[in-house]
Chain A
Amino acid sequence: MARVLDTSETGPGITRLRIDAPRVAKHWRAGQFVIIRPTARSERIPLTIAAADPHAGWIEVIVQAVGRTTMAIAATPAGGDLCDVVGPLGVPSDLETYGHVVVVGGGVGTAVAYPTAVALAAAGNRVTVIVGGRSRDLVILEAEMRAAGLEVIVTTDDGSAGLHGLVTDALATIIETDRPDRVIAAGPIPMMQAVAAATRTKGIPTMASLNPIMVDGTGMCGGCRVRVDGEVRFACIDGPEFDAHKVDFDVLTLRNRAYREFEQSQRAMAETP
């Protein structure tokens, strides 16, 4: 059992939870995730650790309620318990001093990008964050990242905030005017694929934080396997960050659709009062 200490809404259907998890908080580094099973009947799902305090013993996750399990997590009130919180899992982000690093976060993927962006700045990099959302209220963590001293560029598909357009439009501009030494992308697969395409021809090293389906998150099932440079890799223990120029995004897209019908029926069940 892990106690939820605090919850807050950071956008429509997007909830931030602070969870009492001393062992996870103590060992966490940016780029790692937890597996959460909200109730004894629930499935296990991965969520990135957005922040942690090793002394106070808490971690924070940001969850977008898109299916039955994420709805159950988001609905856990402060003072309530999550059945299982396992972590930290995955390989931490590389935090060398690269120079100018552009971190691209799309939608709730910004929650994945955020801790790595902060840690890269702390490692002596100049960090520009491009945060994209469909509209103004789906852009998350902007204030936190500005408060952390990061340069933030906001883009919205509908132009309701920041630049009108996609994160890749903003990235293209930066590549021309202020060439980054490294790019990190986290968000929907088409977005990460587009970022990889934009940097590949320019030879800019680019990492993508992949989001395949997971079960155990500890390397024992291979459900999260991805193709990287033609090789099978497990996102849970070899990733989740991989060289975006070597990732087979088509395989990731196909495999993430494996349980679509089941997920839709589960969502319908969760929404039925």
Chain B
Amino acid sequence: MAIPRQPMPEQDPVARGRTFAEVNLGYEVETAVLEATRCLACRRPPCVAGCPVGVRIDEFVPLIATRDFAAAARIVAEDNALAAICGRVCPQEAQCEGVCVLERKHRSVAIGNLERFIADWDRERGGSELSPPTPTGHRVAVVGAGPAGLTCAADLARMGHEVTIFEALHEPGGVLAYGIPPYRLPRDVVDAEVGRIRELGVSLETDAVIGMAGSIDDLLHAEGFDAVFVGSGAGAPRFLDIPGEDLVGVSTANEFLTRVNLMKAYRPGATTPVYDLQGARVAVFGGGNTAMDAVRTALRLGASDAMIMYRRTIEDMPARREEIHHAEDEGVQLMTLLAPIEFIGDDEGRLTAVRLVVMAQGEPDSSGRRRPEPIPGSEFIEEIQAAIVAIGNDPNPILRRTTADLDHTSRGTIVVDPESGATTKPGVFAGGDIVTGGATVILAMGAGRRAAREIDECLRADA
């Protein structure tokens, strides 16, 4: 193959590590066209099967190569209501790009970069016109405006159903609004994509905590919805459960990122406070994407040392490779095979240090990774002024507590039929992290899409 995979232009790592502006700059038109010409347009395209929402990659990429951007944008928009977001945050290497036939000998087509290019191109021109559906007269409630709920709502609206999304926070987007930082996903991109879903006729009620302000039963009976989709995510943070975790200076990644991203604490004049990290030594515990988001955000808030402390090795980190490399390029220190055993504070109850123990790799555990085991006598103390705990989330218990006849697993996730997303409660479907536990944006979208299809079939069958 003569043409190499076109790299994504990026901001200079040193400069960008101090601002919240987007790191990846996006393809120029000529770069996108060149990259698109690398696609072999396979007859049985594995990339389409590798995409959880089945975007017709084999059709839209060749259209970019022939410069028919409008047609390419329409094809993407038909299958993906959040393409500009997916092009930015999907782990393509594990999905569409991972199965691209070019990946074996050369590098795969940069499908994510092309999806982002075409979605940005389309958004900047006001978005594709999609044909309006015939109203069915059915009403569906969607609980949660994260990736699963937004996708489900968009699909149902295109099928002609009247959809209302109930969102607990004051802004839609779920993890796209409070979790993923603006340097990875600019807020105007999220606003534009949510805006397009509302243009499809979807109503959005923010500040509505279903389970507290009315139950799922209220939606089905008192409020007259014909079906409910639950996409409330996995937003309840886990703790390390070690001494000193109550100290001022220790927060969960959810709290830290919510303050910074949703409440805009990074902006001058913000009224929501965040710990002052200027010149601070900050430790983030965890090795997933949330940990990378937190540590890179800490760097942007002025941390002198932004450190990942992870109990396994870099190879074992669940974070995307791209995220780990970005973090390292910006100056994040990756400290591996370490586990915190105690947070230490001063008389005022403020964090001053963490006691750590060095880990050795033991036998493989159920995840296939070698289990880390503490090395006796290897404890040491590291001075830090802030600690951010990013070791995962569990489903929020509010719905579980207020909806008795919705079956849950012992982990607090909702039990569903994996094909249809149907729960044990008639008329109620669920998908995304509330079913799988913490996973990815695109898997949640795939679940929202499958549930929409099933809800549509049920409603049409009943009619």
Q: Which residues of B contact A263 (CB under 8 A)?
A: 273
**Chain B residues whose C-beta falls within 8 Å of the C-beta of A41 in the assembled complex:** 269-271
Contact partners of A254 in chain B: CB under 8 A: 246-248, 348-349
* 8 A Cβ contacts from A218-270 to B: 218-223, 225, 227, 232, 237, 248, 251, 254-255, 257-259, 262-263, 266
Q: Are A219 and B396 neighbours in the complex by a CB distance under 8 Å? A: yes
Which residues of chain B come closer than 8 Å to A223, judged between CB atoms? 251-252, 255
In the complex, which residues of chain A have a beta carbon less than 8 angstroms from the beta carbon of B269?
A: 41
Decide if B248 touches A42 in the complex (CB within 8 Å): no
Q: Contacts A43-B263, A221-B252, A232-B239 given; indicate if A251 touches B396 (C-beta within 8 A).
A: no
Cβ–Cβ contact B271 & A68, under 8 A: yes
Contacts of A88 in B (CB 8 A): 212-213
A86-B396 CB under 8 A given contacts A43-B263, A254-B349, A257-B248: no
Q: How far is the CA of A84 from the CA of B207 in the complex (A)?
A: 7
Residues of A within 8 A of B (CB): 23-24, 26-27, 37, 41-44, 68-69, 83-89, 215-216, 218-223, 225, 227, 232, 237, 248, 251, 254-255, 257-259, 262-263, 266
* Given contacts A86-B170, A257-B349, A220 and B258 within 8 Å (CB-CB): yes
Rounded to whole angstroms, the CA-CA distance of A258 and B168 in the bound complex is 26
Residues of A within 8 A of B169 (CB): 216, 218
Return the 9 tightest CB-CB contacts between A and B, nearest first: A254-B349, A221-B255, A220-B235, A43-B272, A262-B273, A259-B273, A86-B207, A258-B248, A84-B170
Instruction: Tell whether A222 pairs with B254 under 8 Å between CB atoms, given A43-B271, A44-B263, A227-B246.
Output: yes
B165 CB, nearest partner CB in chain A, Å: 15
Partner of A87, one of B209, B239, B248, B398: B209
Collect the chain B residues with CB atoms within 8 Å of residue A266's CB.
271, 273
Total interface residues on B, CB under 8 Å, equals: 39
User: Which residues on B are within 8 Å of A, measured CB to CB?
Assistant: 168-170, 178, 206-209, 212-214, 235-237, 239, 241, 245-248, 251-252, 254-255, 258-259, 263, 269-273, 275-276, 348-349, 396-398
Inter-chain contacts of B209 with A (CB < 8 A): 86-87, 89, 218
A37 and B171 CA atoms in complex are apart in Å by 12
Given A27-B213, A215-B255, A220-B254, also A237-B271 (CB < 8 A): no
Q: Given A27-B212, A258-B248, check contact A86 B271 (CB 8 Å).
A: no
Contact in complex: B398, A23 (CB < 8 Å): no
How many angstroms from the CA of A31 to the CA of B255 in the assembled complex? Answer: 25
CB neighbours of B272 from chain A (8 A): 43-44, 215
- List chain A residues, Cβ under 8 A from B349: 251, 254-255, 257
Which of A69, A218, A237 gathers most chain B CB within 10 Å? A218
Measured between beta carbons, the chain B residues less than 8 angstroms from A37 are: 170
Verify B396–A218 contact, CB threshold 8 A.
Answer: yes
Nearest CB to that of B393 among chain A residues?
A220
Q: Given B206, B236, B246, which contacts A255 in the complex, CB threshold below 8 Å?
A: B246
Q: Once the chains are docked, how many angstroms separate the CA of A264 from the CA of B371?
A: 47
B259: contacting residue among A23, A89, A215, CB under 8 A = A215
Query: How far, in angstroms, from A84 to B241 measured CA to CA in the complex?
Result: 34
- Which residues of A are found within 8 Å of B273, using beta-carbon distances? 43, 259, 262-263, 266
Q: Are A220 and B239 in contact (CB under 8 A)?
A: no
Give bound CA distance, A237 to B237, whole Å. Answer: 13
A43–B271 CA distance with the chains assembled, in angstroms: 6
Q: Which residues of A contact B170 (CB under 8 A)?
A: 37, 44, 83-84, 86
Please state if A87 and B213 are interface contacts (CB–CB under 8 Å): yes
User: In the complex, A266 Cα to B398 Cα: how many Å?
Assistant: 33
CB-defined contacts of B252 to chain A, threshold 8 Å = 221-223
| A221 & B254 in contact (Cβ 8 Å cutoff) | yes
CA distance A69 to B251 in the complex (A): 22
How distant is the Cα of A243 from the Cα of B307 in the complex, in angstroms? 39
A263 to B239, alpha carbons, bound, how many Å? 27
In the complex, what distance in Å separates the CA atom of A8 from the CA atom of B272? 27
